[in-house]
Amino acid sequence: MAAAAPAAGKGKRKRHLSEDDVCLLQRYNPGTILTALQEVAQHAEGRIIDWRAVVAKSATGITSAREYQMLWRYLAYHHDLNESIEAGDLPLGDDSDLELELEPNPSETKEALSEASALAKALISRSSREQASGHRINLDVPALNTQNEKIVRVPSKQLAQSHRVTNVTCPVSNPKQLSHIVPSPTHLDPNGASKKRKKAKAWSKEEDADLAAGVQKYGEGNWEVILHKCNFDNTRTPDQLSQRWALKRPGGSTKPASTKHASVGSEERSATIKALHLAVGPMPVSSALRSGREQSIQHKSTAFAPKMPQVRSAVTPSLAPALALPVQPLRVAAEVQSPLRHGQQAPGQGAPPKLSNASNNTRKKQAALPNSTFSPSSIQAAAIAAGGRLATASTAANLLKAAQSKNAVHIRSLGATSLKSSASFDHGTQSGGSQHLESLNASAVNGVSGVSAVNQSGPPAGAETKKALGTTLAPVPCDSEENEDGSEFCAITLDDLFPEDAKQPETVDTKAKQPETTGPKAKQPENADPKAMHQETMDPKSKQPDTLKVGILDPKDKDMLEFDQYVASQGAHLNTDDLNKSKCTNSASQAQGLVGSQKNPLKLTPVDGKANPVTAAGRGKPVAAGVASTGKKATIPISHLAAGTPRGIVDTVNANAPIRRTLTRRAAALVPAGCQAPPPKHAIDAKGCQMTNSIATFVSSGVPASSQASTPAKDANKASPPSSSCQPKPDSVAVNGAIRAVKSVAKKGNLPAAAARQ
């Protein structure tokens, strides 16, 4: 509303009075309001307004000084309108009425003038109607063309009778609403006032809350629905909602820590906790989520991998910092370090997850560096949670059937992978089905191995591996650091993980094409079967009952173990939970809302040959294989028959970050990771594991198989040996079946829309 604005005095706040304010009032005729504003301006010479004097002379018809004050405060400060005010009530005594100074004659803009003009006409129009119906409101509305005549003058006597108007038909300046009443401002002002950018309207907390609630209720992306179902004023557009959400959504915020949300960390942490609760039910999450050194304790987090898939919401990067649960499926403890992380702290004694809010330069950057600290397990946890969405009960069942019936897919066991891990590091910009395959097989399954080898081989090997791996490890050479217990750690920066962001994509292809050459020197004692490298991923032979050496938890891992055990105990239940339940439920959506966007992250490329996996995977960050592998001296033989027991944290790493881009792989990789993990000591439900395995199997091999069979992806040429190994074979039938199964699930809505679209 153009006539608005008790406006700014020097150093005072300024507020625009919009038509919405008037609409909200419902109690007062707009003319009354305008008159009141004018009167307030006239009486606002001192610090304190003498409301009684104002009322005495008021033309508004308002007889209660208190009411008058209340109206003003509503208009100026959005104070509540108190319904129960008697005529004799005294105004409040405080002197806060003029925190906003009055500008009786604010300078008008073209837009304002046109709006005001429209408003005036609307008022006149209504006035005419009311006149015809006996409700005469005598509004003398000038065109507001001059500085001194902006305020509607309302003859006092009429207003005295009519200042209370019930069901005020709100005159609007919004062209949409106005169009049926009076010519739109567009017509009134052909000079482009209507073209002018809308005045920025700050988002109130209420709006943000509404938005969050809307997202929870209707899901991210349904901005139209949210817009209409939630009480957004008509000045908001779906686009604005989307943009706002992009800014405000938990985990997606680009806000620097210095601003409003000072403690993003705690927010994310709590969000994570909630998400985790949703995933695994009430449990001593706190122990698992502890920050600080304890958090970095080596931990067989793989044990709970299969237990968490029911988290429907995407676990966004925010989960990672909170879930710093290291993993040590192998003998090398690896910790992903953010470049922001100060010092080269021994990962095992890592500082509390430090959220990086500092770099807020670009959204891109944010996407690439959602959080500053990844620990393998946190990553895994995130990926698990994300990947979990792949598996509804039915999906799992279908996939299980498919996988079991034909033994269609066999993920190469750790032993077979040996040095190909390099390929998994080199996904950078690589795209195409081959990438999927590669990622899944090499990074998910083998990645850890590769890293392990690197670490175990010591600095020289690390350096070499770094080279072999391309640029992924460049920023932070995989220097072996020995922990007090002898565990070795590999520090990997985010740049390592996301070479694409590090702008070193060239190396990708080359490496991908020559995976074998990558890390011959990387030592992988347990699995160093060169032939294995050439084995088909789907080849049953690859299913080597390798014995994994998993470090025994040392005492300080107790909490982690506790966590694992708990999760393990929850395994079956979680795996059979019906994902559908959570689809729109509060809790699930809450997780979504709190933890972050789930729509984007999930892209199930494999489902359909039409979907070009390249898009999702091609842009995907390279798989930071091996990040997770860790190990301790004591070893426990672990048979990782099922689905090849990928040490999949690797892919999980990516799941943490721009999930949107690579989730297809990550989720897939992830699941197997979980399955493999259950160390003997953890009583894990075989069923749940199998199911998960099935899914993993499907995803892993299914993607490439599918894409290769049906889509000559543009990057198909880049197919690396591993991927080619995944050529559809008789066995792949099962894979396809699994794909179909998932597809159907997706169609049923069990998978996020984004996934279904794929």
Partner DNA sequence: ATAGGGTTAGAA
Partner DNA sequence: TTCTAACCCTAT
> Contact residues for DNA (CB under 7 A)?
8, 13-14, 196-203, 220-224, 235-240, 242-244, 246-247, 255-256, 258-260, 362-364, 367, 597, 599-600, 660
From the CB of 361, what's the least distance to DNA, in Å? Answer: 9
Q: Quick one: 356 or 417, whose CB is closer to DNA?
A: 356
Four-point Cα dihedral 91, 95, 101, 102, nearest 10: 30
Residue 215 burial by CB count (10 A; 0-12/13-18/19+): exposed, middle or buried?
buried
From the CB of 202, what's the least distance to DNA, in Å? Answer: 4
From the CB of 279, what's the least distance to DNA, in Å? Answer: 23
Q: Quick one: 14 or 164, whose CB is closer to DNA?
A: 14
Element (H, E) at 130: helix 110-132
Distance CA 86, CA 543 (A): 84
From the CB of 618, what's the least distance to DNA, in Å? Answer: 11
SS3 label, residue 683: coil
Q: How far is CA 150 from the centre of its chain?
A: 47
Q: How far is CA 667 from the centre of its chain?
A: 16
Residue 638 bridge partners (DSSP): 548
Task: Report the chain's terminal Cα–Cα distance, integer Å.
Answer: 46
**What tokens were used for 321?**
């910092």
Q: Quick one: 164 or 363, whose CB is closer to DNA?
A: 363
Q: Quick one: 226 or 550, whose CB is closer to DNA?
A: 226
Distance CA 196, CA 22 (A): 23
From the CB of 133, what's the least distance to DNA, in Å? Answer: 37
Distance CA 656, CA 380 (A): 8
Q: Quick one: 236 or 436, whose CB is closer to DNA?
A: 236
**What tokens were used for 758?**
């794929």
Q: Quick one: 75 or 739, whose CB is closer to DNA?
A: 75
From the CB of 619, what's the least distance to DNA, in Å? Answer: 9
Q: Quick one: 197 or 610, whose CB is closer to DNA?
A: 197
Per-position b or e across 516-530, b if 16+ CB within 10 A of its CB = bebbbebbbebbbbe
Distance CA 154, CA 141 (A): 8
Q: Quick one: 223 or 489, whose CB is closer to DNA?
A: 223
Secondary structure E strands in 621-734: 635-639
- Residue 734's alpha-carbon distances to 410, 445, 694, 728, in angstroms, are 11, 20, 10, 10
From the CB of 13, what's the least distance to DNA, in Å? Answer: 6
**What tokens were used for 128?**
């005419």
Q: Quick one: 256 or 458, whose CB is closer to DNA?
A: 256
From the CB of 584, what's the least distance to DNA, in Å? Answer: 16
Contact status, residue 306 vs residue 610, Cβ threshold 8 Å: no
From the CB of 284, what's the least distance to DNA, in Å? Answer: 34
From the CB of 42, what's the least distance to DNA, in Å? Answer: 24
DSSP 14-61: --PPPHHHHHHH-SB-HHHHHHHHHHHHHHTTSSS--HHHHHHH-SS-
DSSP 333-353: EEEE--TTS-TT--GGGPPSP
Q: Quick one: 8 or 641, whose CB is closer to DNA?
A: 8
Q: Quick one: 497 or 553, whose CB is closer to DNA?
A: 497
* DSSP one-letter code for 100: B
From the CB of 362, what's the least distance to DNA, in Å? Answer: 5
SS3 label, residue 594: helix
